Structure 1
Amino acid sequence: MRKLENKELERKSVTAFKEATKTPLIIILDDIRSLHNIGSVFRTADAFLIEKIYLCGITAIPPNKEIHKTALGATETVAWEYQKDILNVINKLKSENVPVFAVEQVENAIFLQNFQVEKNKKYALVFGNEVYGVSQKAIELCDGSIEIPQLGTKHSLNISVSAGIVIWDLFQKMDRT
């Protein structure tokens, strides 16, 4: 077994990425404080050809050297938009018939392994603040909530880890591999 060199990975160019058919997932980041978390989500979104990221509230926007440290250029490939008010973003997406799901621990949340996607349907996922999670007002507008099962002593995962887990799971369920 031999580790592959970067040139052997045959990754897309920025132009090819922008022209590629995207995975029908929209990521909404609300009040994310950590610039490294934002950059990590961009990098994950690039890896799975995610359609778009909305940055809301206090979430910082590119260009930013701290975001770039973890995004490694993904802010140049993944489509993104800043909107101050997450509620406007959720309402807009719902008016376009895009189901919006909070990734949060709430009553009647669907455990990730039980969440089913419909073929050829676009979904939006809301990830909230590192301390407070997704706001109650946003949760009330969402079509439901997805929860990542956790068996240890901690109550939550880092937001960039949560995004990676949920994006990968839905990517597989959409048969994008």
Structure 2
Amino acid sequence: MVNKLKLEELNRIDIKTFKKVEKIPLIVILDNIRSMHNVGATFRTADAFLVEKIILCGITPQPPHREIHKAALGATESVDWSHEADINTTIDTLRKDGYEIVGIEQTTDSVMITDFEINRTKKYAIILGNEVEGISDEALQNIDTFLEIPQLGTKHSLNVSVCGGIVMWEFAKVLK
């Protein structure tokens, strides 16, 4: 008979240990995200995959907030984060620090994520854009690479936090 594992059987690390564990060289930038659920869910996924940091840009809501916490379930305490008003300042700083800037967006230059070779010797910053408008126009021209997730159905996009989860997993598989 199969039984579900109890929480104490999962052997998860505590926040203090999490802070000391080596993270993957991946930063997630949320560009003008409106939904607190998307913000919270992104934190929770970033915790699961040991993402280095989340940067909240523009109008993206910031913790602490009850609605973010509902989806994050405490991950706002474990995952490092900051808020930056201007996304291009953020991009420029990260690029100077050696990060490749990757926009998750359907563009004339986008590459399917399945065709993109993640280099384990590089550091990456991925940008997830607004639920309706995508990545802001002011940031679009300042991005090194655009990745797109293949979609086979009738819809033209995925929810931001779902998209983020897929992309973080693809990077974590290689970078961990």
TM-score by length of 2: 0.97
The answer for the alignment partner of 1:51 in structure 2 is 52
Gaps of 5+ in 1: none
1:56–1:82: 8 Å Cα contact kept in structure 2? Answer: yes
Q: Residue type matched to 2:6 in 1?
A: E
Does residue 33 (structure 1) correspond to residue 34 (structure 2)? The answer is: yes
Task: Give every structure 1 segment of 4 or more consecutive aligned residues whose post-TM-superposition deviation is greater than 3 Å.
Answer: none
The answer for the alignment partner of 2:86 in structure 1 is 85
Output the CA distance in 2 between the equivalents of 1:121 and 1:108: 21
The answer for the alignment partner of 2:95 in structure 1 is 94
Output the CA distance in 2 between the equivalents of 1:84 and 1:136: 15
Cα deviation per residue 1:44-99 (whole Å; 9 max; x = unaligned)?
00000100000000001010000000000000000000001111100111111210
SS at match of 2:132: coil
SS at match of 1:146: strand
1:153, distance to aligned residue in structure 2 (A): 1.0
The answer for the alignment partner of 2:77 in structure 1 is 76
Output the CA distance in 1 between the equivalents of 2:53 and 2:16: 16
Output the CA distance in 2 between the equivalents of 1:51 and 1:97: 14
1:116, distance to aligned residue in structure 2 (A): 1.0
Output the CA distance in 2 between the equivalents of 1:95 and 1:138: 16
Output the CA distance in 1 between the equivalents of 2:138 and 2:103: 11
Output the CA distance in 2 between the equivalents of 1:114 and 1:12: 34
1:126–1:134: 8 Å Cα contact kept in structure 2? Answer: yes
Q: Residue type matched to 1:92 in 2?
A: T
SS at match of 2:76: helix
Output the CA distance in 1 between the equivalents of 2:43 and 2:22: 17
Q: Residue type matched to 2:28 in 1?
A: I
1:116–1:173: 8 Å Cα contact kept in structure 2? Answer: no
The answer for the alignment partner of 1:104 in structure 2 is 105
1:136, distance to aligned residue in structure 2 (A): 2.5
Output the CA distance in 1 between the equivalents of 2:160 and 2:55: 15
Q: Residue type matched to 2:34 in 1?
A: R
1:173, distance to aligned residue in structure 2 (A): 2.2
TM-score by length of 1: 0.97
SS at match of 2:26: strand
Output the CA distance in 1 between the equivalents of 2:122 and 2:22: 14
Pairing 1:1-12 to 2, within 5 Å after superposition: 1-12=2-13
Q: Please provide the CA RMSD for this pair.
A: 0.8
SS at match of 1:99: strand
SS at match of 2:46: helix
What percent of counterpart residues are identical? 50
Output the CA distance in 1 between the equivalents of 2:120 and 2:154: 36
